[in-house]
Amino acid sequence: MKILILGAGQLARMMSLAGAPLNLNVVAYDVGSQKIIHPLTNHVYDTTLEQAIADVDAITAEFEHIPDDVLTLCCASNKFYPGKDAIKTGGDRAIEKALLSKTDVSCAPYQLITEKAHLEQAVALLGKPLVIKTCQAGYDGKGQWRLKSDDQIEQIWSEMADFIASGTEQMPHSIIAEQMIPFDREVSIIGARDKSGNTVIYPLTENQHTNGVLTLSVAGKEKSAIQHQAEEAFNKIANELNYVGVLAIEFFDVSGQLLVNELAPRVHNSGHWTQQGTHCSQFENHMRAVAGLPLGNTELKHVSAMINVLGQSAIPHDVLKVPDVTSHWYGKAAKPGRKMGHINVSASSLHELGERLAELAESLPEEQYPGVLATSTSLILN
């Protein structure tokens, strides 16, 4: 079976690796170059997008911001999963908020903004501080503002107005303001839904971010009540979208109450630990779902952690001296802050996981790998 992935980054690479043992042969569409390539070798095929669509059995995506003409072309083939509505929802926070309201899934109070009066109304109704985000663009902390005092309104509005003005009739730009929630931590749930509506869901993951970018995830800490909340939200959203594939939902945990932060209609960075920590990784389950194969086991094999490698030219070889550590490299040119790879580590208990993170911290400097040592200490003490 042949699968076309829209996008040719590391997620397409890992989906290709997961699909190969299932006899799923993958090609990728590089949206930037508009070329069909092999996501592992980067070989460029002498094939148009239209020819690739005709040649494959299923189409999926590794990211949300797909040009509308490409998305429309793929959807017209009736081979595209998780579907146009899902991709549009993941790429537009305004549509996402409307979906959450429709499915009665909790999120932070918000106000849509297309003019200055809306910003002033948000300040009046939601109070300060506010988290302000672009609806159609921005990720990993980009395209965001923090409004803490009234004297920031003019400057922030000036920057927001420039963004709004850069939109077009076909691709309008809008902004959303959210009440800043004093949350205890950030967590995410990842699950897969097949074409018949069956779902499998992974254990909830606790995430740490630095400057808006995920740096560390830990799986295996959660209690059943929190897991149940997250699974209920997943099923409501996935069923409403008639979703096929892997869906990720990020939450704020506020004293045991989960509020959705954002959705990702694809495999997700916070699920990379599933490659070693579960029986069937998020990448394999996504490929199974879009190919019409039975979904795999999502039960936890080992408590696990994932460490992002950001902007580094290589992963230190010494990490491989630590038991149950696996290194994943994406083969990209190094740039500051760029996701270059990740490190998975598993253990039989949270205490042992803490010990292994402490050993890893000896090879992973805090400035490049924030939170590893602190997390190790927390796990060992608890």
Domains of the chain (ranges plus CATH)? 2-80 (3.40.50.20), 109-179 (3.30.1490.20), 185-381 (3.30.470.20)
Helix (H) or strand (E) holding 209: strand 205-210
Is 70 exceeded by the pLDDT of residue 142?
Answer: no
**What average pLDDT does this structure show over 121-138?**
88
**What pLDDT is attached to residue 190?**
98
Where does the pLDDT of residue 224 fall: very low under 50, low under 70, confident under 90, or very high at 90 and above? confident
What mean pLDDT comes out for the span 32-55?
Answer: 97
User: Mean pLDDT, the chain, as a whole number?
Assistant: 94
Task: Determine the average pLDDT of the residues in 218-223.
Answer: 89
If pLDDT is split at 50, 70 and 90, which confidence band does 168 have? confident
Task: Give pLDDT, residue 137.
Answer: 65
pTM of model > 0.85: yes
Report pLDDT for 114.
87
pLDDT at 138 over 60: no
Residue 143: pLDDT over 90: no
The residue-averaged pLDDT of 2-22 equals: 98
Short-list 289, 152, 299, 316, CA closest to 219 = 299
Residue 64 pLDDT class (50, 70, 90 cuts) = very high
The residue count for the chain: 382
Arithmetic mean of pLDDT, 235-259: 97
Q: What is the mean pLDDT of residues 239-268?
A: 97
Q: Which of 28-42, 143-157, 177-191, 236-250 has the lowest mean pLDDT?
A: 143-157
Question: pLDDT tier at 36 (50, 70, 90 boundaries)?
Answer: very high
Nearest partner of 83 among 97, 99, 105, judged by Cα: 99
Helix and strand totals (H; E) in the chain: 12, 18
- Out of 139-153, 313-327, 343-357, 365-379, pick the least confident: 139-153
Q: What is the pLDDT at residue 173?
A: 82
- Tell me the C-alpha distance between 67 and 129, whole Å: 34
Tens-place pLDDT, residues 341-353: 999 999 999 999 9
Is a pLDDT exceeding 70 seen at residue 140?
Answer: no
Residue 144 has what pLDDT? 86
Per-residue pLDDT band at 212 (split at 50, 70, 90): confident
Q: Compute the Cα dihedral for 230, 65, 167, 140 and give only its sign.
A: positive
Of 317, 321, 262, give the one whose Cα is nearest residue 100.
262
